[in-house]
Chains A and B, each alone.
Chain A
Amino acid sequence: MASKDIKVSNHIPNDLAFSILSKLPIVSIKRFSCVHKSWALLFQNPNFLSAVGKNFISQYNSFYDDTCLMLKRTQGYDNRCVFDMLSGERFENRVRLDLPLPFQDDDTCIQILGSSINGIICLYQEGDHSKIVLWKPTAKEFTIIPSDNVNYLPYSTTLTKTHGFGYDSVSDDYKVIRHATLFERDTDSRSRNYLEGYRLYISKSVGKFWEIYSMRSNSWRKLDIDMPLRINESVVVYMNGMCHWWGIKVGKEYVVSFDLSNDVFLTTPTPLDMCDNSNLGMVERHLVVLNMSISLISNYAMNTTFHISVLGQLGVRESWTKLFIVGPLLGVEHPIGVGKRGNIFFRKENYKLAYLDLSTEIIEEIGIQGESHFCQIVIYKS
């Protein structure tokens, strides 16, 4: 870098400045862009980005102590689910989990919502989100969340979509957020089994609203709020009293962040650097938590180069910071979850599961196969 710096005593040489800056949190580095023009350009220096990324990933966070992974895999055309707990440095310890009672008769299309909170996992079934179960596998306990709801009208059919499971420390309460759409009742009993199928376009929607379940009151409460809806079965995350999901409204995509303590939400639009209308095709986005920061893993469809951006500040589009570009990764499909130390899990084309270590950019297989597309890996902490 050209040195027009006026030398004062103990002037810090550039290479030393680089080393210090790369160890700062992103928000500080961004603020210090205003120190000097050469510092404003640092984020365009791939070596600097690499150093920042490695430091970011390896920052110690006590949350990840004593955690293991919960893996859900599906088998067969009807997507029957099996759950395993993985632990050990190379995930060599595997324990098959027995499904909680409500799912023993019907183990198809079960989804994990978020990750564990105090050892509790929230499960629901795809298609008909009305069966929601809070499960504590280590204690073999479960709670069924009531689906009956006084907010529903007697002459309607309800389609619900779960959006978040979290813990509100202010009221010491576990909560689940859900969006409900009411339709005129359809006399054909098959309609309840269609996921957003054509029948629902024929029925008239007579109401839609958000609702929140509180474990303390064991009931659902309507919310007077208008938030972007979750995109399909995209990942939902919980962190520090807030539920986050990837949502869409009027064709625009956002990270939606809902604060469980005060029912207030924020939206953060997608980063500006990758957009759908470029000639590279559609952009696929995966919302994840990397070392306690909301992050987005993006790739152009059919492309296995992944761009990973970390959000500096909720609600602030300019604060997305791209820290990693990895790939092309051979034989890899899409991310299925994130472990600790920023290990990103993928399913490979040969059905084998593997993880990418962001600090070394090496992919390691874990010796497990995931038969169909719908694998999920979440961090489990009892």
Chain B
Amino acid sequence: MASSSSNLISLKTSDGTVFKVERALAKTMKTVQAIIEEADANIYMIPIHNVFSHHMDMIIDYYKLSVAGKSKEFSVEKLDNDELKDFLLAVHYLNMEDLFEVLTQAVADRLEKKSVGYVRKYFGIENDFTPEEYAAIRKKNDWAFKGDDIEPEEDEEKQEE
């Protein structure tokens, strides 16, 4: 068993900050846990790529709330959509189950009424439909585009109803 001299694990974020976290918190990060288990000797510091210090702050917040049984109080409201995506990618990299469920649901809630165009940009996906194919699938799902609160498509805004 790889043992450190204390019950704290040192994690170094992409921006160079070192966080000393409880072993129990490190255990919720499957990626980190795998690194610890694979190491034959004591690990002094674990670098976590793609994770910045502001992500770690929120992760620690979430951890403290869930230990106190108050995980429902955790909120990402103050993050805009791109910051939320960023955070989700960090948590995805760290492979943290519970927080992952919370964040994927939060992203889904943000995207619910968005346009197809917005979603493509958000996911970094290019349209691979030909114009004919797009017209066909657009028509097939036309009912899903109707609704006052659904974001209109950029290229369709010009057409008259």
Q: Which residues of A contact B (CB under 8 A)?
A: 4-13, 16-17, 19-21, 23-25, 27-28, 30-37, 40, 312-313, 316, 318-319
Q: Is residue B30 within 8 Å, beta carbon to beta carbon, of the partner chain?
A: no
CB pair A319–B123 under 8 Å, yes or no, is: no
Given A12-B85, A17-B123, A35-B125, decide whether A23 and B141 contact each other with a Cβ distance below 8 A. Answer: no
CB pair A34–B143 under 8 Å, yes or no, is: no
Q: Which residue of A lies closest to B116 (CB)?
A: A34
Q: Is residue B14 within 8 Å, beta carbon to beta carbon, of the partner chain?
A: no
CB pair A32–B124 under 8 Å, yes or no, is: no
CB neighbours (8 Å) of A25 from chain B are 112
CB pair A6–B126 under 8 Å, yes or no, is: yes
Stretch at the interface among B20-28, B37-45, B59-67, B86-94: B86-94
Subset of 5 A-B contacts with CB under 8 Å: A12-B123, A28-B112, A28-B144, A31-B145, A36-B128
**A313 partner, pick from B105, B120, B124, B143, beta carbons under 8 A:** B143
CB neighbours (8 Å) of B88 from chain A are 16
Q: Which residues of B contact A (CB under 8 A)?
A: 82, 85-86, 88-89, 92, 100, 104-105, 107-108, 111-113, 116, 119-120, 122-129, 133-134, 137-138, 140-141, 143-147, 150
CB pair A5–B125 under 8 Å, yes or no, is: yes
Known: A5-B126, A33-B141, A316-B143. 13 other contacts (CB 8 A): A5-B124, A5-B125, A12-B85, A20-B108, A27-B147, A28-B113, A31-B141, A34-B138, A36-B127, A36-B129, A313-B146, A318-B141, A318-B143
CB neighbours (8 Å) of A318 from chain B are 140-141, 143
CB pair A30–B141 under 8 Å, yes or no, is: yes
Q: Which residue of A lies closest to B142 (CB)?
A: A318
What is the predominant secondary structure among interface residues of chain B facing chain A? helix
CB pair B143–A32 under 8 Å, yes or no, is: no
CB neighbours (8 Å) of B100 from chain A are 19
CB pair B111–A37 under 8 Å, yes or no, is: no
Q: How far is the CA of A5 from the CA of B150 in the complex (A)?
A: 26
Given A33-B141, A318-B141, decide whether A7 and B105 contact each other with a Cβ distance below 8 A. Answer: no
Q: How far is the CA of A13 from the CA of B50 in the complex (A)?
A: 14
Given A10-B86, A12-B85, A313-B143, decide whether A35 and B123 contact each other with a Cβ distance below 8 A. Answer: yes
CB neighbours (8 Å) of A312 from chain B are 143-144
